[in-house]
Amino acid sequence: MQIGKKAVLVIFGICIPLLAVACLAGMTWLHSEVDAIRSYVIEKELESIQSQVNRDLERFQLQLDNFSINYQIETPTDLLPEAALFGSTHVLQLKDGQLEPIDKQQPIIPQLPMELLASEQAQAGVYFDKVQALGYLISISAKDAESERLVSISRLTDDYLATLGFVDFATQIKIEAGSAKPGLVLADNTVIAQLAIPALVHQQPVHLSIAFSNQFFSRMAWQYSLLTLGGLSLVIALQLMLFIWLRNAVFKPLNYLSEQVGGLGLDLKGRAYINGAGIHGTGKNEFGQVTESINQLLDSLYRQESQSQVTLEFIAEAVILTDIHCEVSYINPYAERLLQLSNAQAQGKRIHELLPGNQSLSDKVNAFMQSPSLSIDSIFLRLNCDSPKLLSASLAHFSNHSGEIIGAVLVLKDTTQEALLKRQLQRQSYLDPVTGLLNRTTFEERFMGYAQSSQSLAVVYLDLEQFKLINDSSGHAIGNKMLKKVARVIESCLSDNMLLGRIGGDEFGLIVRDSSALAVAKLIKKIIAGVGCQTVTHNDTCYRVGVSVGVALSRVNKDTDLLGLLKDADIACLAAKRKGCNQVHFYDGRDIDLSYQRNAPKWAVRIVQAIEHNELILYYQKIKCLSSHSHRQRLEILLRIQEPGGRILPPAQFIAAAESFKLIVDVDKEVIRKTFLWLSLNEGLWDDHCLSINLSGSSLGAEGMVDFILSQQKRFGVPSSCICFEITETSAIQNRSRAMKMLLDLRKRGFAFALDDFGSGFASYGYLKEMPVDYVKIDGCFVKNLASNAKDYAIVKSVNDVCRVMGIETVAEFVENQEIIDKLEVIGINYAQGYGIGRPQPLDSYQGILAPEKQMA
């Protein structure tokens, strides 16, 4: 249906009838409101009349009472003028049951019921005489023993009744016998209502019949009706004007645009646009803008269509479009070349007809279009042609403007080269590219499965000797050549049930299962002999390599740590290298040195955790003064690790691991920080204590170590005289230049230095005169047998003599008994340290020991 017809239907079929219905409903409501107002006004007028009648009766009774009083003291003749004041009111005297007028000229009065006259009570009310058809106001005085009863009668005239109502509203008021009927009666533009008034005789009720004028309310209802009809007519007129404007300004231009758009076709060659010259009417400018926007949209669609066409023509993937019946509607040029078909030849065919050998493809596409999903995982196809190809197909369906699926697009990608490359990369991912053996990752993965069907395993770790010389002197190409030869030789010595892999630069791993240790040893000797025969020549130089072999043997069960066996073989290989070239070492868990090496990684992790969680604990050991002029008490700071359960670990279990894994510098820094912190909390010890801190060889001259020490001193405010750093003779000699610089820098700032384990080296005296140290700690190997060994005594004495000449104080270590202390005092040693002086104690407990001395001082 056209929009103009829809507008006519809405305006004339819906809007105007609805307005008419609303108008009628409004008029009805207004009339009901007018009726309600009329009823309300009449009700209030009736209440006013009722009130007026009651007041008149009260006044009438009051006048009779006044007259009765005056009547007793004056003669009737003298009261006549006063009685005349009532106007139409007449006063009668009740004698012997009969009414006698005081004024003999009074007119005839109505006949009153005798039962009313017999009553002794005062009464007042309205009485209607049916014979005369007249109403009266009658008041009867109460019975009095001293006087006669009086009766006052006044006829209700039309003039009096007219004064009860509102002028021009209550048009007629008359009195009638009988009870008043409720409600209003409308008759000839008049509303009649009945109002009950007080009756003199209750058995003879009377009421007022009042006629009210309805002209005012009728005029009000008519005005409201005219106003409503006028508004309805105005709205209808406005709707007609709106319709006329819409027809000229909107509907006609829209119909024109619809015809123009309906005749367009998205032809890239023709490129048709809408002609805006045919638009007329008041909406020409607005629809001219709409026309321009539509033309811009068409231009954008043409450009997108052109871009899509170019993209489809030059894309390096085959694109096939189908209709809802899986029949081909278009293939791009790449698909033409791939399928060796033209677009015209492919149109109308089923998809599987274009791809021989893929009969189910059409069914898959059809099922896909019936599903609600918008995409699907790639489908791999094989194209059988002169050179078979592997294709990856992806599907998507497209819909019209209403969301209805109208076709599908199939994109084919030639993945033949990708598949070949992927296969090659997969091969490279588990094979070593130089030797063709398994790489370390694959070797360890195969090891897990290889061991499941074994009862015993021999894990062999082979490390080439002198291989680095080949790489450094002749280059990696010659080194790789040697690796290939070594790999071929090892493979030639193995049987099919053995597992071999290259697990490092010049390292190989071998797994032998269910063989005795003797058979494994014979196999290794054969491998060593074969490897030793391999040579490579470069620049007239012949190179050979050797091999060190570590072996770990184990029975296989569910608790066997397979990777741990490989680690044990590596540790055994290191032990073999220490023996020399072409040596074999079998791992033995009872070997303490090998056990430490095996657990070193765990200790390294534990050290890091201890630093992070503040589990490094400081201990101290006293250094006793034997013959020194110094007043300072000396303590050596020692290190422990506290386990979560509370167990304290000695340094022998973790210092070697810290040095192997380059953690010793961090450990030294933590010890320095904790020592400075402790001293800052015990300021009372600064004047008479000196704490010795051990520095490792790695910390000597380490980058930033001096700055760290100085920053901690500044942070905690500890004087340098409280600190002495101990360095071993061996580390000082190995790091001579760096150690010298560090010693000089820190001694300038007041720190002291001690040379630890002095005497264990062969060049001790030569270096001693160059080292700016304050103390020499004589190695304990010369001290512990001092009392019984003359040679040790002589060595210790000579060291002390030399140090005394150089101005260096001496400290003897490993002092375990009083006998040794006595000998040291004879020699003149300045300080002694060992179990004979005191065992290591927690540093935090030292404050408690010192407290009593402080208090005495």
What does the pLDDT read at residue 77? 45
- Helix then strand then coil, in percent of the chain rounded to 5, is 50, 25, 30
Total domains, the chain: 4
The tens digit of pLDDT for each residue in 135-181 reads 888 888 877 766 677 888 888 888 888 888 887 778 888 888 888 88
pLDDT of residue 853: 44
User: Are 628 and 683 contained in the same domain?
Assistant: yes
Q: Based on the domain organization, do 691 and 748 belong to the same domain?
A: yes
Interval 602-611: pLDDT, tens: 777 777 877 8
Same-domain pairing of 609 and 537? no
Strands 89-95 and 98-101: antiparallel
Identify the domain boundary among 184, 213, 242.
213
For strands 689-694 and 633-642, give the pairing. parallel
Q: What is the pLDDT at residue 159?
A: 80
Residue ranges making up the domain that contains 152: 3-213
Q: Which are the contacts of 479, defined by CB distance < 8 A and separation ≥ 6? A: 467, 470, 471
Q: Residues 575, 651: one domain?
A: no
Residue 523 placed within a domain = yes
- Where in 9-141 does DSSP place strands (E)? 89-95, 98-101, 123-129, 134-140
For residue 248, tell me if it sits in a domain. Answer: no
CA–CA separation, 33 and 18 (whole Å) = 22
Q: Report if residue 516 sits inside a domain.
A: yes
Domain containing residue 478: CATH number: 3.30.70.270
Measured between alpha carbons, how far is 271 from 269 in angstroms, rounded to an integer? 6
CA distance 396 to 537: 62
Higher pLDDT, residue 397 or 440: 440
Local structure of residue 539 (DSSP, 8 states): T
Angle at 665 between CA 664 and CA 668, to 5 degrees: 85
Beta bridge partners of 350: 327
pTM: 0.45
504 lies in the same domain as 617: no
Q: Are residues 492 and 604 in the same domain?
A: no
Residue 687 has pLDDT above 70, yes or no: yes
| Contacts of residue 580, Cβ cutoff 8 Å, sequence gap at least 6 | none
Contacts of 439 (CB under 8 A, 6+ apart): 429, 430, 431, 432, 501, 502, 503
Question: What long-range pairs does 492-501 form, CB within 8 A, spacing at least 24?
Answer: 492/530, 493/523, 493/526, 493/527, 493/530, 494/523, 499/438, 499/443, 499/446, 499/447, 499/450, 500/437, 500/438, 501/432, 501/437, 501/438, 501/439, 501/440, 501/442, 501/443, 501/446
Judge if 612 and 757 occupy the same domain.
yes
461 and 385, same domain (yes or no): no
Choose one of 178, 213, 248: the last residue of a domain. Answer: 213
Cα separations (Å) of 577 from 414, 507, 596, 660, 714?
54, 13, 17, 17, 48
Q: Is 576 within a domain?
A: yes
Report if residue 107 sits inside a domain: yes
Cβ contacts of residue 774 below 8 Å, gap of 6+?
A: 724, 752, 753, 754, 808, 809
Is residue 797, in this structure, part of any structural domain at all?
no
Which two tokens mark 662?
A: 């380059």
Residue type for position 750: G
Question: What's residue 590's pLDDT?
Answer: 60
Does residue 184 lie within any of the structural domains? yes
How large is the average pLDDT for residues 187-211?
A: 84
**Residues 498, 501, 507, 511: what is their CA dihedral angle, to the nearest 10 degrees?**
-30
Higher-confidence residue of 68 and 694: namely 694
CA–CA distance, 815 with 824 (Å, rounded to integer): 9
Question: Looking at residue 627, which CATH number applies to its domain?
Answer: 3.20.20.450
State whether residue 275 is helix, strand or coil: coil
Radius of gyration of the chain (CA): 65
**191, 213, 235 - which closes a domain:** 213
Q: Is residue 203 part of a domain?
A: yes
Task: Check residues 589 and 849 and name the one with the higher pLDDT.
Answer: 589
Q: What are phi and psi of 618, to 5 degrees?
A: -90, 130
Flag whether pLDDT at 848 surpasses 50.
Answer: no
User: Are 400 and 437 in the same domain?
Assistant: no
Mean of the per-residue pLDDT values for the chain?
79
pLDDT band for 748, please (50, 70, 90 cuts).
very high
Lowest pLDDT segment from 195-209, 364-378, 429-443, 620-634: 364-378
Beta-bridge partners for 192: 185, 211
Q: Are 436 and 407 part of one and the same domain? A: no
Q: By mean pLDDT, which of 153-157, 422-426, 587-591, 762-766 is the weakest? A: 762-766
CA distance linking residue 526 with residue 521, whole number of Å: 9
Q: Are both 32 and 57 inside the same structural domain?
A: yes
Overall residue count recorded for the chain in this entry: 857
| Residues 40, 135 share a domain | yes
The CATH number given to whatever domain includes residue 400 is 3.30.450.20
